[in-house]
Amino acid sequence: MQSSHNHFTVNFKLNYSGVERGVFLRRLNRFRCMVEVDGRVYSAHIHDPGRLNELLKFGSEVLVRPHYSSARKTELYLFAVKSGGSWVLVDSALHNKIFSWLINSELIPYLHGYSISRAEYKYSGSRFDFLLESRFGGKAILEVKGCTLVIDGFALFPDAPTVRGRRHVKCLIKALNDGYESIIFFLVTHPEAKIFKPNWDVDEEFSRALMEAYGLGVKVYACKVVLNVDSMEISWGGILPIQLT
User: 158 preceded by cis ω (within 30°)?
Assistant: yes
Q: How high is the pLDDT of residue 67? A: 85
Helices 163-177, 204-216: crossing angle, 10 deg rounding:
10
Domain shared by 123 and 76, yes or no = no
Domain shared by 120 and 201, yes or no = yes
Domain shared by 99 and 85, yes or no = no
Q: How high is the pLDDT of residue 72? A: 65
Best CA proximity match to 24, nearest among 62, 51, 68:
62
Q: What is the CATH number of the domain that holds 118?
A: 3.40.1350.60
Q: Is residue 140 included in any domain, yes or no?
A: yes
Q: Which residues of the chain carry a pLDDT beneath 50? A: 1-8
Best CA proximity match to 199, nearest among 69, 54, 80:
54
- Within the chain, strands assigned E span 12-13, 20-27, 32-37, 40-46, 61-66, 76-83, 86-89, 114-123, 126-134, 139-147, 149-151, 154-157, 181-188, 195-198, 219-228, 233-239
Single-letter amino acid, residue 112: H
**Distance in angstroms (rounded) separating the CA atoms of residues 118 and 141:** 10
Q: Is residue 244 included in any domain, yes or no?
A: no
**Distance in angstroms (rounded) separating the CA atoms of residues 243 and 198:** 8
Decide if 25 contacts 41 (C-beta within 8 A).
yes
Q: Which of 63, 89, 115 is the last residue of a domain?
A: 89
Decide if 23 contacts 62 (C-beta within 8 A).
yes
Q: How high is the pLDDT of residue 159? A: 94
Domain shared by 97 and 85, yes or no = no
Domain shared by 200 and 99, yes or no = yes
Decide if 35 contacts 62 (C-beta within 8 A).
yes
Q: Give the 3-state secondary structure of 88-123.
A: EECCHHHHHHHHHHHHHCCCCHHHCCEEEEEEEEEE
pTM summary value: 0.92
Decide if 198 contacts 166 (C-beta within 8 A).
no
| Structural domain for 31, as ranges | 20-89
CB-hemisphere CA count at 13 Å for 213?
Answer: 28
